[in-house]
A and B are shown apart, each in its own frame.
Chain A
Amino acid sequence: MLRLDPDTGKQKWYGSDGAKSVLSAIISILIGMAVGTLIIVFVGLTKEGISLKGMWEGIRLVFLGVFSTGRDGGELTFGFNPVNMGNMLFRATPLIMTGLSVAVAFKTGLFNIGAPGQYLMGTMGTLTVGLTLGNSGCPVFVAWIAAFLAGVILGGLWGAIPGIFKAFLNINEVITCIMTNWIAANLVTWWFDAHDIFKNSAEGGKVGYIIPLKNVDVVTPKMGMDVLFPGSQANGGFWIACIIAIGMYVMMTKTTFGYELTACGSNRHAAKYAGINDKKNIILSMVIAGALSAAGASLYYLAGNTEFFWSTYLSLPAEGFNGIPVALLAANNPIAVVFSGVFMSMLNIAGTQLKSLTAYNEYIADIIIAIIVYLSAFSMFIKQLLNKRDKKKGGNK
């Protein structure tokens, strides 16, 4: 129920649906961080060699990891750390894209658990086209666009498969998504297995990796990131992800296309009644979701210095699955996905800082992420609790 202002009769901003989504996300995050803190204390108490001071340092790093600037005279120092900040944005880029992928599908009533597979297909398309064109001597600018588009198109087509099954045979997209994930993992492994030209054999000790795109100079421009965050891996990919997020927001809320997609997602029967082609929209929605996930992979590998371990058939990329908590934390709002994506990658940076500066390892951060993943599924539930509280208040007036 909506909370109305007694004077104006209008909805108060903090009673709005959006504000509640933000609040429930913050509650999930705080609980996650609190549990992380407890774990640091428990580990500290049970493990020899970690003092009370060490625990305190661990806690501070969990919360302020990105602002850590190392140690000075044995004490942790905090401040603006351009490398950490830049790397945070860099690692956030693929998470934002897979988050968008899951969020857009959610809005249209589909659960896209196929982001890892789409991400892998994007990786394959981008690396293959990027390396081929990079070696052929065509202009870098053209090669970059071709590589990016190749990833996006391949991901979109891959996303279309569950969409087609859902639209025409009414087969649940979750099942087909899981199957296409593993098919993608094997397909990508086979593809790179069969083409030695992509394998990075030049550098010793790097067994099983694909040649990074920086070797052929097909690299995303920095777009000012090197000035803002010198020494970090950050590049223009983050800005591209932000622009895509805004584009998705506009598409979903301002256009007839978004209107159709959401109508199909909310009530397929009513959409059909109104003459909207529900089958087409279900497929298109999955194509967009697939393209977004794949774009995440493309932007990540077009950074240049990232390397892809080609024999991936035994595991799926975490970036794909992490799109789900990113979308849930953001309550499927494309703009909020940018922030939740950045937040998730901030925890990641905190993990690396923990490892390098204290006796703790980076898995603490993974535990916190895992807890937030759990709680983000509860964020709908928390929102309901908030609504219930409102109802009671509204009723007791």
Chain B
Amino acid sequence: MTSEYVIEMNHIRKEFPGIVANDDITLQLKKGEIHALLGENGAGKSTLMSVLFGLYQPEAGTIKKDGKEVKINNPNDATALGIGMVHQHFKLIEVFTVLDNIILGAETTGKMGFLKKKEAREKVLALSEKYGLKVDVDAKVEDITVGMQQRVEILKMLYRDNDILIFDEPTAVLTPQEIDELMEIMRGFAKEGKSILFITHKLNEIMAVSDRVTVLRKGKYIGTVNTKDTNKQELSNMMVGRPVQLEIKKDEPNPKDVVLKVEGLTIPSKIHKNNAVKGISFDVRQGEIVCIAGIDGNGQTELVYGLTGLEKADAGTVTLCGQDISHAGIRKRSEAGMSHIPEDRHKHGLVLSYTLEQNMVLQKYKEPRFQNHGFIKFDEVRKYAEKLIEDYDVRSGQGPITVARSMSGGNQQKAIIARELDRDEPLIIAVQPTRGLDVGAIEHIHGQLVSERDKGKAILLVSLELDEVMGLSDRILVMYEGEIVGELNPKETNVEELGLYMSGAKRQGKEAESC
């Protein structure tokens, strides 16, 4: 029996206590096609893919491979069927090297059971070369950037010669050039006859690369359309269920006093011997959004660590609201007027085993409002959390007492943003605030940042997403290898020029840098 479809998931239903994550969802993947799966956070995309990958068992529905019904009980079954997956949250062993991570579970061994690492290494290097997925195979995963970790995940799948490839939000951390390259790779795979399931919420990518799109909303199947018969606006309306504003709407900036002044800041690198941030200077004023753009790993993370006090600076001064905070501790800086939406919401942003309300007061628990002689005022904490949940539309299973770990990524991020914006500090440092979020949530967060700007806040945005950089910022500072190589006005530049600065091909003179 042959079938037009290489994988069919028919009428899949998956429930979790309290919610139906997948409600009668049908997904049909043709051989050699790139099929996008589109939906907001919590729409059930990841659940559906986990069902396909054998991580969850559906309550109803069938899965067919080449027309034959199959039962996928665990990821090994999925691998045996040639299904490979790049997970949104990386499944890597931090203390292993890149190479060890790639071959893990698919090791080739000699007669005596010894690992044939040399062959594996050659294969990985060849793949890495072929697809332009630059990795340092001998580096430990804990030492490499998020972007490189993503590439390791992709290589892992390539290494296993899978012919059904699931990409769960693969482009979230890649640079524009890398995204283009990945798109090329995906097209190449499709030509080779491999089938690709591409989970994303980025409409540009869907329009650029996919053949067909299946849209999910709140666990329900909305429809499958041919990409060439649709457009971005229609897709986003299908996804969100209402007309969405795709462009960021904002008025002219009205910058006033300098809030943050950075002079000659130098921060050592943890991985390499050289400095990650090399004596950079800039300032951020009230009522403007200044964006640090750049390819991942050019010192942005370290710069933020240096500003927020997570890492010690070697040299330079940081002045916040006229106060020298170059040597202050983290809490001092935060009290001096700094909000920080961190890059890694699981590592820094939340205590995952704490409840939502406990996380909401992560910095504020010591304020007299929430404690009395060291005893936490639980009623006040609850009230405050409920207010934030209401004001910032944070959705969770059990409201304030939901354990943070059980919330969806988008709502975790919303919770962090609620907490940080509500602290009402003059400076907001937002590091990739919309990373991994869907259109609806991004629209919401962008709107919030713009309204904070209009209230007179100084906002330092670090972003890897060019759309965000171009659309949201009032000034762009491009970082390359730890230095600011250009200051651009988003109205006078374009993505191509920005890309040249980001890749180091172009740089402004010293005199332009200091303005």
Contacts and interface: CB of A to CB of B under 8 A. Distances in A.
Contact of A273 (B17, B330, B354, B371): B330
Contacts of A206: none
Contact of B371 (A256, A276, A391): A256
A192 to B, nearest CB: 39
Interface string B325-366: 000011111110000101000011111111000100011011
Q: Give the one of A4, A274, A394 with max B CB within 10 A.
A: A274
Contacts of B333: 275
Interface residues of A, number: 28
Interface in A257-292: 257, 259-260, 262-263, 266-267, 269-277
A305 interface: no
A257 B374 CA distance: 7
Given A255-B374, A275-B331, A275-B363, A266 B354 contact: yes
Given A273-B310, A273-B330, A397 B351 contact: no
A256 B365 contact: yes
A259 B365 contact: yes
Contact of A270 (B16, B59, B351): B351
B330 A4 contact: no
A270 B365 contact: no
A262 to B, nearest CB: 8
B375 A275 contact: no
B180 interface: no
Contacts of B59: 395-396
Contacts of A45: none
Nearest to B363: A274
B18 interface: yes
B362 A270 contact: yes
A1 interface: yes
A257 to B, nearest CB: 6
B77 interface: no
B310 A267 contact: no
Chain B interface size range: 35 or more
B15 to A, nearest CB: 6
A2 interface: yes
Contacts of A3: 17
A254 interface: yes
Interface in A1-60: 1-4
A260 B364 CA distance: 12
Interface in B28-85: 59
A267 B352 contact: yes
A394 B310 contact: no
Contacts of B349: 270, 273
A194 B221 CA distance: 81
Contact of B347 (A270, A276, A394): A270
Contacts of A273: 308, 310, 330, 340, 342, 348-349, 362
Nearest to B15: A395
Contacts of A272: 310, 330, 348
A394 B17 contact: yes
A189 B17 CA distance: 58
A1 B375 CA distance: 30
Contacts of B342: 273
B376 interface: yes
Interface in A88-129: none
B283 to A, nearest CB: 24
Contact of B375 (A255, A267, A269, A391): A255
Contacts of B329: 275, 277
A256 B372 CA distance: 9
Most buried by B among A257, A266, A270: A270
B374 A2 contact: no
Main secondary structure of the interface of A (DSSP, over half): helix
A47 B353 CA distance: 53
B17 A4 contact: yes
A276 B353 CA distance: 17
Nearest to A1: B17
A256 B371 CA distance: 7
A267 B378 CA distance: 21
Given A1-B16, A266-B352, A269-B347, A274 B362 contact: yes
Contacts of B17: 1-4, 391, 394-395
Contacts of A274: 330-331, 334, 362-363
Contacts of B371: 255-256
Contact of A397 (B15, B347, B353, B366): B15
Nearest to A275: B331
B348 A4 contact: no
Nearest to B367: A256
Nearest to A2: B17
A190 to B, nearest CB: 40
A337 B92 CA distance: 37
Nearest to B402: A2
Interface in A132-154: none
B16 A267 contact: no
Contacts of B362: 263, 270, 273-274
A267 B376 contact: no
B363 A259 contact: no
Given A2-B17, A256-B365, A396-B59, A275 B334 contact: yes
Interface in A188-213: none
Interface in B461-506: none
Contacts of B18: 4
A275 B363 CA distance: 7
Contact of A266 (B340, B351, B365, B378): B351
Contacts of B354: 262-263, 266
A216 B469 CA distance: 78
Contacts of A270: 347-351, 362
Contacts of A275: 329-335, 363
A256 B374 contact: yes
Interface string A338-358: 000000000000000000000
Nearest to A278: B330
B368 to A, nearest CB: 11
Nearest to A260: B365
A163 B371 CA distance: 27
Nearest to A396: B59
Interface string A355-397: 0000000000000000000000000000000000001001111
Nearest to B342: A273
B331 A256 contact: no
Nearest to B17: A394
Nearest to B14: A395
B330 A395 contact: no
Contacts of B350: 267, 270
A259 B358 contact: yes
B16 A269 contact: no
Interface in B365-398: 365-366, 371, 374-376, 378, 398
Contacts of B340: 273
A119 to B, nearest CB: 28
A263 B334 CA distance: 18
Nearest to B364: A274
Given A263-B354, A270-B348, A256 B366 contact: yes
A341 B16 CA distance: 38
27 contacts: A1-B17, A254-B376, A255-B371, A255-B375, A255-B376, A256-B371, A256-B374, A256-B375, A259-B358, A262-B351, A267-B350, A267-B352, A267-B353, A270-B349, A270-B350, A270-B362, A271-B351, A272-B310, A272-B330, A273-B340, A273-B342, A273-B349, A275-B332, A276-B331, A394-B17, A395-B17, A397-B15
Interface of B: 15-18, 59, 308, 310, 329-335, 340, 342, 347-354, 358, 362-363, 365-366, 371, 374-376, 378, 398
Given A256-B374, A263-B351, 9 more contacts: A254-B376, A255-B374, A255-B376, A256-B371, A256-B376, A270-B348, A270-B362, A275-B330, A395-B17
A-B pairs with the 8 shortest C-beta distances?
A275-B331, A394-B17, A273-B348, A274-B362, A275-B330, A266-B353, A267-B351, A269-B347
